[in-house]
Amino acid sequence: MNERCERERPVFLIGYMASGKTTLGRALARATGRRFVDLDEYIESLAGKTVTQIFADDGEPEFRRLESEALVRLAGNGNGSSVIIACGGGTPCFGDNMSLMNGRGLTVLLEAPQSVIVRRLVAERSSRPLVAKLAAGGELERFVSENIARRAPYYNRAAASFDSSKLESEEEIAESVRLFIDKYL
């Protein structure tokens, strides 16, 4: 594949919630001129309701069907799709999503220490229904640890990985963007 096509392939950012997919994805898009898509927001626009409403009204199987359909649309044929996609934390774990993403673009696993993820989740608790009612100091940490372990076989199928632990300030985000571009774009 020529260098131009390689540059235009979609980039799929995967990883556990609060690993920085949306933060890094938006910053990368600004820096590279690529389009940014948050997969959950894209699904919401297609369905005309929130992810929470889809789960409540239609169930997880319907959400996962919509998610896979959205990935196919966004991935195109892998060429000319100059887009950075922040996937949901569970996206790689269902259907044939990892094979699709690996076949059509570059999958990058964003990794941060569990302590960083927990700290971010505590700060964003009100916007994270899965963890909103979990107590920090044991319950939340256990939940995160078990979920990451359960998802690891899927996450580890990513073509690449990137340390996303430094996304707390504008300076850290800018440095992470520079490192990511140097390494992958």
pLDDT at 3 over 60: no
pLDDT of residue 18: 95
pLDDT tens readout for residues 10-22: 999 999 999 999 9
pLDDT of residue 103: 95
Question: CB-based contacts of 126: which residues, under 8 Å, 6+ apart?
Answer: 132
Q: How confident is the model at residue 170 (pLDDT cuts 50, 70, 90)?
A: very high
pLDDT at 128 over 80: no
pLDDT tens readout for residues 78-116: 555 689 999 999 999 999 999 999 999 999 999 999 999
Q: Which long-range contacts (CB under 8 A, 24 or more apart) does 30-37 make?
A: 31/177, 31/181, 32/84, 32/181, 32/185, 33/82, 34/82, 34/83, 34/84, 35/82, 35/83, 35/84, 36/83, 36/84, 36/85, 36/86, 37/74, 37/83, 37/84, 37/85, 37/86
pLDDT of residue 4: 42
pLDDT of residue 78: 56
Q: Specify the CATH superfamily of domain 3-163.
A: P-loop containing nucleotide triphosphate hydrolases (3.40.50.300)
Q: What pTM was estimated for this model as a whole?
A: 0.92
User: Do 91 and 15 touch, CB atoms closer than 8 A?
Assistant: no
